[in-house]
Amino acid sequence: MSAPSDRSQEPLMTVRAAVILMLGTQVAVAAGVLTVLAGNAWAVGVLAAGGAFASAVAFARSVIG
């Protein structure tokens, strides 16, 4: 059996993952705000933001190596 390693110094997530999630969050916020400002209800804006987040994360994962 191997000895347990000290994981207290490891980062919580990689830089790549942080960049992808930050990009997805920014796209989602922009899509949600623009949807609401276009005159739609908040619920529609939240749904648009969710779809934009998922699409942006999927796209960024394929582009960012």
Chain segment 11-60, per-residue pLDDT in tens? 899 999 999 999 999 999 999 999 999 999 999 999 999 999 999 999 99
Residue 10: pLDDT band by 50, 70, 90 thresholds?
Answer: confident
Residue ranges of alpha helices (H) inside the chain are 15-37, 42-63
CA-wise closest residue to 64 among 5, 14, 6: 14
